[in-house]
Amino acid sequence: MRLTLNETARFLKVPATNLSFWRRIGAIKTKGMKFEFVDVLACAVGRDLRQRKVDAEACYAAMAAVQSFSLKNLEGSFDAGRRYLVGVGDRFIPFLLTHERLFDNPSLPLQQAVESGLPVVILDLQKAFETLEMSLEVRGEPCKV
């Protein structure tokens, strides 16, 4: 799947100027002029986080974290039960966590982060992936590169 900037903007229901801006500041890095599946997923994550009033820098960090995975990496992580992307402040852990590693892990200082006033973002990236995949299939776009 490869979409142009305008196709991606229409699909995500965001102004094309947002995507151009994200590209210009380096929040999104596409291979050439087309957006591949992981690029669209990263933009969808950024859009959704901004709609939830998450700080712009944290959104950009989340987008970069999503783009650090290949489609094959994501699918392998999901198959292994790793689905959660975690951010504290404006930094995101550059790997996916299982439910147990996220919620039953005393060495992950999420409570301390919240208590000290840092925003904590937990994304179910597998759910976002599946939602995007379904939306593209409805649109008639093949999802795999």
User: CB burial class (10 A; 0-12, 13-18, 19+) of residue 37?
Assistant: buried
More confident residue, 141 or 137: 137
Domain presence at residue 124: yes
Residue 60 lies in a domain: yes
What strands lie across the sheet with 84-88, from one edge to the other?
91-92, 84-88, 120-124
- Full residue range of the structural domain in which residue 78 is found: 2-139
Distance separating alpha carbons of residues 132 and 82, to the nearest angstrom: 18
- φ and ψ at residue 28, rounded to 5 degrees: -125, 130
For position 17, which CATH number holds?
Answer: 1.10.1660
Would you say residue 32 lies in a domain? Answer: yes
On whether residue 145 sits in a domain, the answer given is: no
pLDDT at 144 over 70: no
Mean residue pLDDT of the chain comes to 89
Give the start-end residues of each E strand in 42-115: 84-88, 91-92
Residue 111: is its pLDDT beyond 90? Answer: no
**Percent of the residues in the chain that have a pLDDT greater than 70, as a whole number:** 95
DSSP state of 97: B
Q: Residue 144 in contact with residue 1, Cβ under 8 Å? A: yes
Between CA 9 and CA 43 the distance in angstroms is 9
Number of structural domains (the chain) is 1
Query: In Å, what is the CA distance from 108 to each residue of 46, 61, 103?
Result: 24, 19, 9
Rounded average pLDDT over 44-70: 93
pLDDT band at 107 (very low <50, low <70, confident <90, very high): confident
Q: Is residue 144 part of a domain?
A: no
pLDDT score at 145: 43
Res 118: pLDDT: 83
Domain assignment present for residue 76? The answer is yes
pLDDT category of residue 110 using cuts at 50, 70 and 90: confident
* Mean pLDDT of the 40-65 span: 94
Residue 107 resides in a domain: yes
13 occurs within a structural domain: yes
